Structure 1
């Protein structure tokens, strides 16, 4: 079996065994604490440009199936685990993890001390790295490029190239415009299961085109990269806000909406990536267990209380987990209500979005 390596920007070198695709890849090294869900991680566009370390020691034990993809391909720059399971056992299994990594040209690394790597990232913060297999060693230029690496044009890379429509399950009750910043399939599924016909639009779609489309509401999806990089999208959201159309933002969508109302975002030390993050609803004093995947957060002090208020906070570090616009049917969350870690603690937020749409329709009818 061939060797594989991870070289971090600070010079730390990890040596293990190769799995997946043979080659070399650069990215931002992050860690995910989930005990399951590696297939969803691999296919989540929010991981674009990142080398993902799974902290759970055994990965691949239930293989890869055809139902749990979150997009049409893998977006990670590399995949690291303590031990890869070569003989998965699950009735839905169709491929091994190793087979999938090879098919997606994802360089994998197994057999390293992932606890040590995670401690480095927690203490020093996420850092760049280069993952490579034996025979594909980086030269001085590649190492210099790794140290200078920045995830750029992330939304532009992962967003839909053109409009598409996802039909409602059964009767169509709502027409939703979904701005794709790196959407996960399960967001679409949650809406479809509630009678929504979802029109998936490129993330940079002009607001005039959306407002002329006759949509009942707008979904702002998750996605990768620095939210502040998306200057034009933020300007577009400012226009959409003035229309008073109901909107619901998730993850990057939450951050972009915060920027649109004048708040600020910042890069976190090592981010939140896992399925066990406790989030408190400040209105109800209730705590939810949530799934998260983000490296940036909204600065709570920068949210103008005359425009919006912070409703959800993370109980581990106090970071902002959701905001509500004052006087408009717009709310956002940093976590992922379409995922089921609790097991379904926060899926009600989709119902709340549709309730806002019903109320907006009722208010419009009264004005006729």
Structure 2
């Protein structure tokens, strides 16, 4: 009954393209950069990943909500996507250990969703035309008014968003009796990264995005970690300076995603906004050190400049994305530092790359 009485909704792109659908019942408007994720599972982890802050997510999987939600399957304390576009939204769920329905979860978080959209056509459009700002509207606002409002939405290319998702105060994760201590700079950290470090006998102190090197060093850590996060890395001058000072002191340094880009910028390697970005749990990466392929979880719209990495005398590319040849991993020759553009914590997804956490711990020794 609920399905047949739902209100009409629209998705308006910044170039004027319109897709029609239905609201799941939350009225309003939401703005953000439109992107898509190809994962067949793990929608709750995607929705709560801080790296997606400010983005409207297209779910390419045909069914969303069919296994409900579980309180243990979150990457942060709240939904971070700006809105959701999907084909079939399931109001009912069939998983025995679910904590509740996705509908109730969205109602609590006040997340606006449009369903019954031709997501195959929409994804193909984004692939062909690149990432664009968009608005989901479920409250009947006119197209003309929406176009005016959309004109004032800033481009992701210049946005600093780490400050919107980072912790406000330092906190600890793991056992205080662990063998190793790590200072982590939270630019939008996923909880499963912390889980992976903690289960490898690490005690982590997590610092806000604007913490200084002095702040991180006072914990007297065995190594440092720069996290993933949303937005453009270039405005994060404080984090870039922290990376420089960590490298000057040559303590072990590991960076993931945005942290990977920060390490590049700290060494004069530029970053660029990608045409569409990489988002999914089946991205192929080649490990150039072993010759092996890895199926990886990825979520990024920016990347480091491959030509500049290749020309840098102190850097070596360790991993490449097989589809487009972008830099997926790198390490420094004279420093105890390495980084990857993808997500080795992979929850959900393949665990091909979990060895990277083991490598980091080996460096701590």
- Pairwise same-fold verdict (TM > 0.5): yes
1:224 aligns with 2:203: no
1:165 aligns with 2:172: yes
User: 1:136: how far off?
Assistant: 4.1
2:29/2:139 contact within 8 Å kept: no
CA distance in 2, matches of 1:72, 1:340: 16
1:24/1:137 contact within 8 Å kept: no
* Residue from 300, 303, 322 that aligns with 1:294: 300
Query: What is the aligned partner in structure 2 of residue 96 from structure 1?
Result: 101
| Secondary structure, aligned partner of 1:214 | coil
CA RMSD of aligned residues (A): 1.4
Query: What is the aligned partner in structure 1 of residue 110 from structure 2?
Result: 105
| Equivalent residue runs for 1:210-359 within 5 Å | 210-303=216-309, 304-340=311-347, 343-358=350-365
Q: Which moved more, 1:77-86 or 1:337-346?
A: 337-346
CA distance in 2, matches of 1:42, 1:356: 33
Structure 1 residues 148 and 123: CA distance shift in structure 2, 3 A: farther
1:255-280 per-position Cα deviation (integer Å, ceiling 9, x unaligned): 11111111011111110000000000
2:93/2:101 contact within 8 Å kept: yes
Normalised to the residue count of structure 1, the TM-score between the two structures is 0.94
1:59 aligns with 2:64: yes
CA distance in 2, matches of 1:65, 1:49: 23
Query: What is the aligned partner in structure 2 of residue 132 from structure 1?
Result: 137
CA distance in 2, matches of 1:136, 1:22: 11
| Secondary structure, aligned partner of 1:227 | coil
CA distance in 2, matches of 1:166, 1:154: 23
1:82 aligns with 2:80: no
2:297/2:350 contact within 8 Å kept: no
CA distance in 2, matches of 1:229, 1:99: 36
| Secondary structure, aligned partner of 1:335 | coil
2:256/2:341 contact within 8 Å kept: yes
2:160/2:233 contact within 8 Å kept: no
Query: What is the aligned partner in structure 2 of residue 42 from structure 1?
Result: 47
Query: What is the aligned partner in structure 2 of residue 146 from structure 1?
Result: 150
User: 1:37: how far off?
Assistant: 0.8
CA distance in 2, matches of 1:81, 1:320: 30
User: 1:134: how far off?
Assistant: 3.4
1:59-111 per-position Cα deviation (integer Å, ceiling 9, x unaligned): 11110111100000011111010001121111221221111111111100000
| Secondary structure, aligned partner of 2:140 | coil
2:296/2:344 contact within 8 Å kept: yes
Unaligned runs of at least 5 residues, structure 1: 359-368
The count of corresponding residues between Structure 1 and Structure 2 is 356
